Amino acid sequence: MAQGPEESAVGRQVEELLAALHIERATQEQVAAAAQELVGMGREAVGRLARGILRSGRGRREKVAALLGCLDGEPATWAFNELQRLVGSRPLNATERLWLMTTLQRLAEAAAPPTARKEPPPDEPAARGSRSSLAAAVANANEEDLLAWREELASVDPEQREAVLANVLDSRDPAVLPLLEMVLSLEEPGIDALVAEGLAGFATPAVLPLLGELLRRPDAEVRRRVRKTLLALESQGVDTRGIFAAAAESDEAGAQALATMPDDAGQMIVVVARGRGPGRVRYALVGIDPIEEGIVNCWGESGLTDSEFRGRMDDMSERTSMDLYPMDLNLAQALVAAAAEYARQQGRELPPDYAACRRVVGRPTAPAALPFDFGPACAECGQRLRMADMDEGGLVGGELAICARCAERPRRCRACGRRLEVAFDEFQMRRAAPGGEVEFLCLACVGRGRKKRRRKR
């Protein structure tokens, strides 16, 4: 592209303006003055600045975002038009897309005359600016995109983060909820408070799971804002009674769950896979520990074919010598939810990818009887089991657990009287009566009991 001497002069002026702006210590007035100066240079200068929004350089993006953030009226329209051209002109990564979308949205609002910027009619919640493009970007995002956005938001300073989030919240479009859910996993009171309040603008029960999560935050201000938002939603006719009930995350077809059998310490792996488009599968794998950690680890993949997914599961079974069995989806979801809740109660930080994994797993839709208790206590002495118990011979069998010390006591099979070596023999534990003593049955007697029952039928 040929550049006239005037054009490059404008380019130099814009660069000088940027160089003189020390964004990390500039006051809002100084940024506004710089933006004023830029507007004074004319349309070409504003256009150049906007076109360079994605250029790298120390602090450059922050400066450009701050300056664009000051524009309104016609200059905001100039910048908006430049940025919109940019969106179509080159492939963008997830982070660039989010920056562009939120900036575009703010500019669209700033460009509108003040009268049009007032509250939108309540029955027309998605009719402004580039809202739909931001929502569309989020709606098309996969878990990796969402994680990338979350990392990006985590890495910028709180003020910018709040500006971006305010734009996202201002869209009032349920399509952006996955992004909000993802940033809530940062568990930062500033973000939590902003989202807790901003969700009042989304007149849909789809926000209830997020509000339910925020209600469990330790920060009292966050919880206060959630309660206020719930009242605001109610006054908009949203039925908020479901706040404590589980809500379905996704009605995507083809969800399936797999799990290993709990091992001697109750640990198990739960996998949930979902189809995403023809032949596209994503899955999340969650390692569960009912004794201490709740959630040991989690990861996932997306963009697989059905056979690639099956191959991954076969590889894992082979590597770990653990078979995966089909599990009821609702039970798998309830197990993962209970494990995360337990981890939180224990004051443990959830793995960084948990938020992405939970999106794939989804929330349970019905109560489920879990195969074991989280945080089990010894059925004989009442003491809470620790991981050390499991290393020293403690037992977990279904809802019954025995601490290492109690496990050392000599045991006999309740049915045949045979002496049991707890460390070596296979056996089953059960209670003689609800709340009664724990009985041990050798495997042979467990088998006989089964046969007898079968004959009776």
Contact assessment for residue 256 and residue 326, using Cβ atoms and an 8 Å cutoff: yes
Enumerate residues 6+ apart whose C-beta is below 8 A from 267. 287, 288, 289, 290, 291, 296
Report the C-alpha gap between 212 and 79 in whole angstroms: 39
Nearer to Zn ion, 339 or 413 (CB): 413
Task: Give the binding-site size for Zn ion (rule: CB under 5 A).
Answer: 10
Considering only residues 415, 425, 428, 430, which one is a binding residue for Zn ion as defined by CB under 5 A? Answer: 415
Contact 425, 444 (CB under 8 A): no
3-state SS, residue 394: coil
Of 10, 17, 110, 442, the residue at the interface with Zn ion (CB under 5 A) is 442
State which residue, 191 or 441, has the beta carbon closest to Zn ion: 441
Residue 380, interface with Zn ion (CB under 5 A)?
yes
Of 21 and 403, the one with the shorter C-beta distance to Zn ion is: 403
Number of Cβ atoms within 10 Å of the Cβ of 318: 9
- What is the DSSP code (8-state) at residue 385? P
**Backbone CA torsion sign across 416, 420, 422, 426:** negative
* One of 127, 261, 381, 388 touching Zn ion (CB under 5 A): 381
* Token pair in block for residue 198: 């901003």
**Closest approach of Cβ 208 to Zn ion, in Å?**
41
- Whichever of 126 and 416 has its CB closer to Zn ion, that residue is 416
**HSE on the CB side for 308, CA within 13 Å?**
11
Q: CB of 386: closest distance to Zn ion in angstroms?
A: 11
Distance between first and last Cα of the chain: 87
Residue 378 found at the interface with Zn ion (CB under 5 A): yes
- Residue 443 binds Zn ion, judged by CB under 5 A: no
Smallest gap, in angstroms, from Cβ of residue 262 to Zn ion?
Answer: 20
Using CB under 5 A as the criterion, what x/- string covers residues 334-373 for binding Zn ion? Answer: ----------------------------------------
CB 356, CB 143: distance < 8 Å? yes
Contact 323, 260 (CB under 8 A): yes
For residue 364, the minimal CB distance to Zn ion (Å) is 31
Binding Zn ion (rule: CB under 5 A), the pick from 245, 261, 416, 432 is: 416
Q: How far is the CB of 307 from Zn ion (least distance, A)?
A: 45
Interaction between residue 420 and Zn ion (CB under 5 A): no
Does 9 bind Zn ion (CB under 5 A)? Our answer is no
Q: Which is nearer to Zn ion, 281 or 378 (CB)?
A: 378
Least distance in angstroms from the C-beta of 390 to Zn ion: 13
How far is C-alpha 32 from the geometric centre of its chain's CA atoms?
Answer: 36
- Report in angstroms how near the CB of residue 269 gets to Zn ion at its nearest: 27
Q: x/- contact string, 394-413, with Zn ion (CB under 5 A)?
A: ---------x--x------x
- 31 Cβ neighbours under 8 A, 6+ residues apart: 21, 23, 66, 67, 69, 70
Give, in order, the Cα–Cα distances in Å from 168 to each of 134, 179, 233, 375.
Answer: 8, 9, 18, 39
Nearest residue (CB) to Zn ion, 164 versus 445: 445
Query: Any alpha helices (H) in 207-280, and if so which ranges?
Result: 208-215, 220-235
Contact footprint for Zn ion (CB under 5 A): 378, 380-381, 403, 406, 413, 415-416, 442, 445
